[in-house]
Structure 1
Amino acid sequence: MSWPPIDADHCLVSTAEMVALEQEWLASGLPVPALMEKVGLAMAAWCLQQPGLLEQGVLVLVGPGHNGGDGLVVARELAQVGIAVRIVCPLPLRQPLTQQHYQHVRWLGVPELEGEPDPDDPSLWIEALFGLGQTRPLPLGLATLLQQRQRTQPGRLVSLDLPAGLDGDSGRPFAGGAAMASATLTVGLIKRGLVQDCALAYVGRLHRIDAGVPRRLFPPFSNRFANRAVLMIGENDLQTLPRPHPPRSAMKYERGRVLVVAGSERYRGAALLALQGVLASGVGSVQAALPQSVAAEIWQLIPEVVLAAALPATDQSGLDWGGWLAGHDLQRLDALLFGPGLGENGGDWAQQAEPLRTFPGLLVLDADGLNQMAASPCGWQWIRGRLGPTLITPHAGEFARVFPKISLDQPLEAARAAAACSGATVLLKGAHPLLASPQGSVHQLISGNPRAARTGLGDVLAGFTAGWGAQVISDQTTQQSLDEMLAAAALLHGEAARSCDQASTARAVASQLSAMVLHLNSPAG
């Protein structure tokens, strides 16, 4: 069974997918007016639950299509409970159903502004201009008005479905800009663009308006989304989080075995933070190949770690790992983390990394491991020769170095393309991280804390995914795919960063992670 389930609470859809779903739904006999009424009533109910926003009245910006019709239903409902509502129609109304709602709202006595609204107007603006399917920039006058609104009354605009001027797939504003909402009420299913990092400033708080999308439109009743689903995961999914279940009688070597190759004279702390992430996962056995300066102290700092090697520095002050790795037996390991804080190497990647290529377990390539591979003549194509599964954990800059021909304009599609061509699982880090599998499925974290982007948290994440993945590899009973289990690990890391109340440092987050895993593995968890 998929984790999380492929349903309305988890699917992230492209605008084309949403349009196709709506068309099939309406073709079943559902009247368009009934759907508009249901959506508009739900939007109005949300507004009424925010009385502080409505105290100074409401101005609804009505667009020419069905998004404008939704706005008019909201205007009607708010007016009928005594809210001071006005409407403005910057463009001629095009859809007959929207025209009918306009006629009724005007009959109710809702006033209409004749000219352009004052951007300094203290009332709440409800922006219902275009919604789904925007493909071109806003008219200049509207774009200017919305920019002035944000400057003079920030936080006093709510968008219906999609902020005007925002691409629903990429999350980027069209030329000329987009509305900046304090909240966006999106209809039916959440559009992918709304949760991308570049969209967060425009979307504000995101709320899904449940339009009652029928279960028949999802697997197993429909093949829609079955093979290439994009699923969002967040705090609520911790309750169903898949996790390794080693036998109660398992010894430490049966609970996952990890080797960490990390750190350098310049980046000593990266090795320690990565090891703290590994240990937080609950893995059974941890070894480490470390720079000599860290190796000398590791028994005092993290006594649980077995020192596999104390490695010298390269001429560039990086970690000289190649010679040692060639003579070390990796076959008894379940996972290997390679990269945090390694610095520059200068050697022949393909030759030195041959033991990594033939390693049958999970290889987690992070940070300078990615940079060293990217600098080699083979680049990302080296991954295609791997004998075991590979997880790479780039941030945007590292991604661009590893995959220079893949544009990051649409991060979700970029991660998916990188996974498809390389054969690696790609964890693209950001405010809302993405995990893309080589088979085409994508998980996106949506409930993390964007402020958690701090020094060292990437090292903790790399270590935690390696430790978690090692347990998955050693657990022969799991029903979930490795990619789903790695997505679960990424979610745990994000939730630890969000919920940690000790401090926001990487060490504090590692401690929070350890406590969360302990709770999950307790009988009550």
Structure 2
Amino acid sequence: MPIDPFTLVSPPLFAAADLREIEHRWTAAHPGRPLMAGAGAAAADLACMLARDTGEPILVLAGPGNNGGDALVTARLLAAQGFRVVVVSRADPARLPPDAARAWADWRDAGGNALTDVPAGQSFGLVVDGLYGVGLVRAIEGEDARWIGLANAMACPRLALDVPSGLDGDTGQVRGCAVRADHTLTFLGLKPGLLTADGPDHAGTLHLDALGVEPDMLPAVAGSALTRLEARHRLPPRPRNSHKGVFGHAGVVGGAQGMVGAALIAGRAALAYGAGAVTLGVLDARVAVDYGEPRLMFAPPERLVAAPLDVLALGPGLGQAAQARVLLETALASTCPLVLDADALNLLAGDPALSEMAARRTAPTLLTPHPGEAARLLACGTYDVQADRIAAASMLARRFRAHVALKGAGTVVTHPQGRYAINTTGGPHLAQAGSGDRLTGIVVALLAQGMAPGDALEAAVWRHGSEPSIPPAAI
């Protein structure tokens, strides 16, 4: 029975290699009970609910692998329920994998056939995409690309099986072109690529069916989806007998001339999320008070980076002048948790000595780069970072022994020990100046109140994405 995966708490994320292991374990334990039968049945049930009630046929695109076999089982079951079904496939039945070949034979024995092209001028009530599933390693081109273009242009719902064809299930990268599904029914478990990079724009509404696979058959994996906060992501209730010192003193350094707003945004967010006291070290010496949030304190940045704090953040509006570099060097020597963002990351990327200092820190270090900053830190192109966001964030976590939030669609949070999570909140409303500064402030607030660094970064990312968006017309 398909479920909404976002009702689960921290569901695991399975890469293509993990799924092959699950299938191998299932086959060994349940010979003669192919998972394909369950996948096709689940897809047929969902397709029945999604197909438009117009009497138009359902188009099923079946590829040359097991994803195509899932589609053929779906087609046979839909036809048995009285739907008109048009199967389009150029797969050679003699070269199909065993389970897919059996699905083809069952479809043929039930009186079905397959066209070699999408009928011109025909309207459909639903498209079922079973061209390519997980494990795709090449760009889709030729006739397959043309079929995807036709499917994307059709005025009917599109249901993708497992992952939309053309989307890399491990990375979320589009390989050539990809189906833009309205719904994706994914099997066994969630795939990382459905949640990050181009995945959210192509998967539509996600449905999950574990196909009855027992939990003990699932391999341990490093990744999970940040769907809801766990207990570790929550601060304990505040006692009545408390004072501001109990909830931490946070420092935020940045705000060079012309960029003061970045530091103010971070500081205001830190207060809003519960830090006991927040002091700003603003490089623009003309600013000594925030009239919008007068609770913020101000101190010379050189004094603040050397002060005894519960947490220090450096970067919002920092700039890259000589003064900024000196401040970063001093901050790297601090013994409190350190959050580095924006120009602090750019300075780190351009100075091997500073990078070495960061990697040698014994206190927790948290990095919150966007893809461009991550690319500079890794000495590669932004395209390379976006091509495999999980790998890029994991590399940063290892290199700097840091907790890392690689921002973007499906923010990836990685940790030094190899664990990672992909956030499922947020949206394009966060693509605005100041958004990253606010995230820095939320991270600072949770750290100041004593939350563990990795948990604080995950919780901050999730909470930041959960904040309500403000329509442009309402601003």
TM-score (norm 2): 0.88
Is 1:279–2:271 an aligned residue pair? yes
Q: Is the alpha carbon distance of 1:69 and 1:241 closer, same or farther for their aligned partners in structure 2, counting shifts above 3 Å?
A: same
Q: Given that residues 364 and 402 in structure 2 are in contact (C-alpha distance below 8 angstroms), is that contact kept between their aligned partners in structure 1?
A: yes
Q: Is the alpha carbon distance of 1:55 and 1:386 closer, same or farther for their aligned partners in structure 2, counting shifts above 3 Å?
A: farther
Q: Secondary structure at the residue paired with 1:272? A: helix
Q: Is the alpha carbon distance of 1:8 and 1:466 closer, same or farther for their aligned partners in structure 2, counting shifts above 3 Å?
A: closer
Following TM superposition, by how much is the alpha carbon of 1:460 offset from its aligned partner in structure 2, in angstroms?
Answer: 0.6
Aligned to 2:463: 492
Aligned pair partner of 2:346 in 362, 371, 388: 371
Aligned to 1:61: 61
Following TM superposition, by how much is the alpha carbon of 1:427 offset from its aligned partner in structure 2, in angstroms?
Answer: 0.7
Aligned to 2:256: 264
List aligned pairs for 1:197-346, cutoff 5 A: 197-218=197-218, 224-225=220-221, 229-234=222-227, 237-238=228-229, 240=231, 242-245=233-236, 248=239, 249-292=241-284, 295-298=287-290, 300-309=291-300, 321=301, 323-325=302-304, 329-331=306-308, 333-346=309-322
Stretches (4+) displaced over 4 A: 291-294, 502-505
Q: Given that residues 345 and 372 in structure 1 are in contact (C-alpha distance below 8 angstroms), is that contact kept between their aligned partners in structure 2?
A: no
Aligned to 1:402: 377
C-alpha distance in 2 between matches for 1:113 and 1:101:
13
Letter in 2 for 1:487: E
Following TM superposition, by how much is the alpha carbon of 1:239 offset from its aligned partner in structure 2, in angstroms?
Answer: 6.8
List aligned pairs for 1:120-199, cutoff 5 A: 121-123=122-124, 124-138=126-140, 140-150=142-152, 152-153=153-154, 156-174=157-175, 176-199=176-199
Structure 2 residue runs without a partner (length 5+): none
Aligned to 2:415: 437
Q: Is the alpha carbon distance of 1:73 and 1:393 closer, same or farther for their aligned partners in structure 2, counting shifts above 3 Å?
A: same
Q: Given that residues 259 and 289 in structure 1 are in contact (C-alpha distance below 8 angstroms), is that contact kept between their aligned partners in structure 2?
A: yes
Q: Given that residues 316 and 437 in structure 2 are in contact (C-alpha distance below 8 angstroms), is that contact kept between their aligned partners in structure 1?
A: yes
User: Number of matched residues?
Assistant: 462
Q: Is the alpha carbon distance of 1:444 and 1:84 closer, same or farther for their aligned partners in structure 2, counting shifts above 3 Å?
A: same
Following TM superposition, by how much is the alpha carbon of 1:353 offset from its aligned partner in structure 2, in angstroms?
Answer: 3.1
| Identity across matched positions, percent | 31
Q: Given that residues 348 and 355 in structure 2 are in contact (C-alpha distance below 8 angstroms), is that contact kept between their aligned partners in structure 1?
A: yes
Aligned to 1:73: 73
Q: Secondary structure at the residue paired with 1:122? A: coil
Deviations 1:354-402 (Å, cap 9, x if unpaired)?
4312211111111122122223342533311323111111101111122
Following TM superposition, by how much is the alpha carbon of 1:16 offset from its aligned partner in structure 2, in angstroms?
Answer: 0.7
C-alpha distance in 1 between matches for 2:237 and 2:332:
27
Q: Secondary structure at the residue paired with 1:165? A: coil
Following TM superposition, by how much is the alpha carbon of 1:245 offset from its aligned partner in structure 2, in angstroms?
Answer: 2.0
Q: Secondary structure at the residue paired with 2:72? A: helix
Letter in 2 for 1:128: G
Structure 1 residue runs without a partner (length 5+): 310-320, 474-480, 509-525
Aligned to 1:476: none
Following TM superposition, by how much is the alpha carbon of 1:462 offset from its aligned partner in structure 2, in angstroms?
Answer: 0.6
Q: Given that residues 310 and 448 in structure 2 are in contact (C-alpha distance below 8 angstroms), is that contact kept between their aligned partners in structure 1?
A: yes
Q: Is the alpha carbon distance of 1:437 and 1:55 closer, same or farther for their aligned partners in structure 2, counting shifts above 3 Å?
A: farther
Q: Secondary structure at the residue paired with 1:353? A: helix
C-alpha distance in 2 between matches for 1:9 and 1:426:
18
C-alpha distance in 2 between matches for 1:336 and 1:504:
33
Q: Given that residues 246 and 255 in structure 1 are in contact (C-alpha distance below 8 angstroms), is that contact kept between their aligned partners in structure 2?
A: no
Q: Secondary structure at the residue paired with 1:13? A: coil
Q: Given that residues 393 and 414 in structure 2 are in contact (C-alpha distance below 8 angstroms), is that contact kept between their aligned partners in structure 1?
A: yes
Deviations 1:93-152 (Å, cap 9, x if unpaired)?
213433333343344444x343411365321221212323223344622222322443x3
